[in-house]
Homo-oligomer: A and B are copies of this chain.
Amino acid sequence: MHIDDLLRKESEWLKGTGPKSNIVISSRVRLARNFDGFPFLNQANPDVKLKILKMAESLMGKSKFLKGTLFIKMNDISEVDRQFLVERHLMSLEHMQDIESKALVIDDKEIISIMVNEEDHLRIQILQSGFNIMEAWRMIDEIDNDLSQYANFAFSNKWGYLTACPTNTGTGLRGSVMLHLPALVITNQIGRVYQAISKLGLTMRGLYGEGTDASGNFFQISNQVSLGQSETDLLDNIEKLINKIIMRESSTRNMLMTKNKEEVVDRIWRAYGTLNTARIINSKETITLLSIIRLGVDLGIIKKVDMRTINELFVLTQPAHLQKLENKILTPDERDVKRAELVRSKLT
């Protein structure tokens, strides 16, 4: 397996086959873990970082759950490849910075990904298609238990797992769900959702996590604290809230189709018309229009395109993906032309 193979196949989470996949893109659980007896990364010198990298590499080789995974050292790959991995949600934007001794472990289905030397020594992530947070938890728990046989993770009986940032201390767990909420945005209800979430100790972010905007009406909801509750309680809490948001989005979609049908249908078809004919299109406009078409596919207005194609286009039209597809560096202007070509070829 090689990074480039990812380009030619579909990530598990993009298939659009998971539960409630008309509204939920993906569910993700991640655990922060640090090797006992080693300083956190903000205090580690290059030698220590390298040692951790080597420990991590050897550890991965031992786990039966990580057989066949790829261990990618960040400074072995190009800038475009790193961007490519971020675009596929396999690693964070931060993992592209200061790449010395950083690595990423991924399996060929892109369900498992482990960042080495990001904020913590290990950040283990399971990504599932649709609303499937408990299955993600089941898998990550299994991997964590398995890895714990071969490594000592920093743990305090009082605090639980110790992490570089105190917000992750305790379970080291973050559960997050990526939602597509066009109807709540169109009807200006998203502000209220945001308020409700904050009160419950959860947080709402854009497509690429912290500090990114909610382009395409995509919202990532996750827990803010990971201390004081068991993992399953934390995830239960998220699951219940997400269920309510899904119901609200769903009923609002129905409401739009009864009360504003003509306007909604017009908007959806215009988005389709533009994507199907544009010769130059930037990322932002593409995401905005694909988002509207995604709603149209769910509402049964657009029948000639399937959800999988739309999900795939969200990923393929991003800068690093376009450059890997073309197998060369492209200027932003060149990308806008290639993006338009790609979208047209996939939609028709």
Question: Interface on A for B, CB 8 Å cutoff?
Answer: 262-263, 265-266, 269-270, 272-280, 337, 340
Contact = CB atoms under 8 A, between A and B. Distances in A.
Contacts of A275: 273
A337 to B, nearest CB: 6
A242 to B, nearest CB: 33
Contacts of A276: 273, 277
B266 A270 contact: no
When all copies of this chain in the complex are counted, the total is 2
Contacts of A277: 269-270, 272-273, 276
The secondary-structure label for the interface of chain A is: helix
B278 A270 contact: yes
Contacts of A269: 277-279
A276 B266 CA distance: 11
Nearest to A275: B273
B280 A263 contact: yes
Contacts of A280: 262-263, 266
Given A266-B280, A272-B277, 7 more contacts: A262-B337, A266-B279, A269-B277, A270-B277, A273-B276, A273-B278, A274-B274
Most buried by B among A262, A265, A270, A274: A270
A292 to B, nearest CB: 12
Contacts of A278: 266, 269-270, 273
Contacts of A272: 277
19 contacts: A262-B280, A262-B337, A263-B280, A265-B279, A266-B278, A266-B279, A266-B340, A269-B277, A269-B278, A269-B279, A270-B274, A270-B277, A272-B277, A273-B274, A273-B275, A273-B276, A273-B277, A273-B278, A276-B277
Contacts of A273: 273-278
A275 B272 CA distance: 11
Contact of A279 (B262, B279, B337, B340): B262
A285 to B, nearest CB: 11
Nearest to A279: B266
**List of 3 A-B pairs having minimum Cβ-Cβ separation, nearest first:** A273-B277, A273-B273, A266-B279
